[in-house]
A and B are shown apart, each in its own frame.
Chain A
Amino acid sequence: MSMMSTNRLILLLFLLFVIEGSVMPWIIPADYAGKIIPHFSFVFVLYAALYSGRHRALMFGLGIGLIQDIVYYGHLLGVHTFMMGLIGYIAGLLFDRRRSTLLTCLSVIGFACIAYDSAVYFIYSLFRLTEESYAFALLDHILPSLFLQLAFALVIYVPVRKLYEQDAKLNQDQDEE
């Protein structure tokens, strides 16, 4: 039973990833393309960290990061894999045993998204693959995308939390048997 529900979560994560690359470019106005960048699957990984535990967040982060790296292979492999896994795990380590409220949840997601985007920026600038200054990157796309991520997190908060708590309950029942 619990396997079923985990599969459902993985399917949802993958669906979010596909929407990010194939539907969002048509929804975001053309003037803002490249400035507002959706990280829906990463938000979902952070929900896993908050409501389902750090190990699942690590697995989800590594998995979807790897798919992102391979499908959109531009210059580097492994950046998204490592960063999504690591940040998901750290978020889980700090917050997974607590009952997070909406406000904590949104602030964790906000900070994690800034940390993730900044880390990706610093890796690319370390290898001289971008010439932008950090201040420019921050104002050009990191902060504008943050608003999209927060709005998305707010929209899916109730259903996703229910989904994860259902899953956690099923896991617990199975452990007791």
Chain B
Amino acid sequence: MIELFKLFRNKRMFMLMFGFILFIVVIGFSLSDRKELSMPEKFIGDSVGFVQQWFYVPAASIAGFFEDIGKLRTIYEENEYLRLTAAAYARDKIGYNFLQEENERLQKELNFTEQQKKINKYNYRIAHVIAIDNNPYSKTLEINLGSLNGIKQDMAVTTIDGIIGIVSQVRPNTATVMPITELDDKSPTSNAIAATILGKSDSFGMVTSYDDETERLIMTRIGENDKMIVDDLVVTSGSDSVYPRGLVIGTVETKEVGNFGLTYTASIKMAANLNQLKEVFVVEVSASEDAGK
């Protein structure tokens, strides 16, 4: 015991122990479910983010320039393909307008409340990525919109291809996005995504985790009689309170019997690519805004 005290008389040892205890306290504090960041965190995050965007945007445009040169040869084919898609879009748009009108009329007749009408109306806010942390255990992105622009915690973030994550921390001018590759069914803070299949609205499953080693999302709790097959498009179902309806997640790659033999488990190839992102869209649900008030 006396030797232990002698050990602590050493200033260096004492500082190390003190630092270690402080470290454990900070980790414990950060593991808890935090709703808002503290003042110094917001200040440091915003100031660093302000500098980061001077670097990210030029780097992205220079890299994009070289990519464009590489793609010069395929541009003709791409153009042709886009023309076809535009024609298909124009055709579908007419049908969509009719359906939209019909839908609104029926909603009126059925006396939908204002909130029910708005629940599937989203506002896509474009945001620029300003930094990427590739820490393999907690990958995060920084975007240049914050609480001053109306961004709130737990808003879904997508690209043109599909969903990439969720806003995890908000500062006045910047926000941190946690990608869906951080989903983990064992972690206390992660939310599973309720998912369904496009065109088969009876299908249901929960996207609960991401396998780093195979780089696939894992979808569990799929019913025994589910008609989901390989290559089906998985979209969010909107029945959890976090992710809005109809965002593309990916395609089913395999489907097999789960751990307990009662339900099925599928592995999903993500539609969006998380590397070298320039712009992302933050999905603002208008109904949640009213609920907030």
Interface residues of A (CB under 8 A from B): 14, 17-19, 21-23, 25-27, 30, 33-34, 37, 66-68, 70-79, 81-82, 85-86, 120-121, 123-124, 127-132, 136-137, 140-141
Contact = CB atoms under 8 A, between A and B. Distances in A.
B133 interface: yes
B153 interface: no
A75 B213 contact: no
A47 to B, nearest CB: 22
Contacts of A140: 136, 212
Contacts of A124: 137-138
A141 B30 contact: no
Contacts of A30: 273, 275-276
20 contacts: A21-B142, A25-B275, A27-B59, A30-B276, A34-B139, A71-B48, A73-B37, A74-B140, A74-B178, A75-B189, A76-B138, A77-B29, A77-B30, A78-B27, A82-B19, A120-B137, A121-B137, A128-B186, A131-B212, A132-B212
Contacts of A73: 30, 37, 41, 45, 140, 168-169, 176
Contacts of A67: 44, 48
Given A21-B132, A34-B136, A37-B136, A70 B52 contact: no
Contact of A70 (B19, B44, B137, B212): B44
A76 B27 contact: yes
A72 B212 contact: no
Interface in B261-285: 273-276
A68 B52 CA distance: 12
Contacts of A66: 44
Contacts of B130: 22
Contacts of B162: none
Chain A interface main SS type: helix
Interface in B88-134: 130-134
B132 A78 contact: no
Interface of B: 16, 19-20, 23, 26-27, 29-31, 37, 40-41, 44-45, 48-49, 51-53, 55-56, 59-60, 62-63, 130-140, 142, 168-169, 176, 178, 182, 184, 186-187, 189, 212-213, 273-276
Given A26-B62, A67-B44, A72 B133 contact: yes
Give the interface centre of A30, A74, A123, A141 by most chain B CB atoms within 10 Å: A74
B56 A70 contact: no
A140 B212 CA distance: 10
Across the A-B interface, the 9 shortest Cβ-Cβ residue pairs? A74-B138, A77-B30, A72-B133, A78-B26, A21-B131, A22-B56, A124-B137, A22-B55, A26-B63
A142 B77 CA distance: 41
A144 to B, nearest CB: 11
Given A82-B23, A128-B186, A71 B131 contact: yes
A25 B132 contact: yes
A127 B48 CA distance: 28
A37 B135 contact: yes
A79 B187 contact: no
A71 B56 CA distance: 15
Nearest to B178: A74
B41 to A, nearest CB: 5
Nearest to A93: B12
A78 B137 contact: no
B138 A75 contact: yes
A34 B30 CA distance: 24
A46 to B, nearest CB: 19
A27 B212 CA distance: 23
Nearest to A75: B138
A2 to B, nearest CB: 25
A22 B52 contact: yes
A82 to B, nearest CB: 4
Contact of A33 (B176, B178, B182, B275): B275
Contacts of A74: 133, 135, 137-140, 168, 176, 178, 182
A26 B131 CA distance: 11
A81 B19 CA distance: 10
B64 to A, nearest CB: 9
A26 B176 contact: no
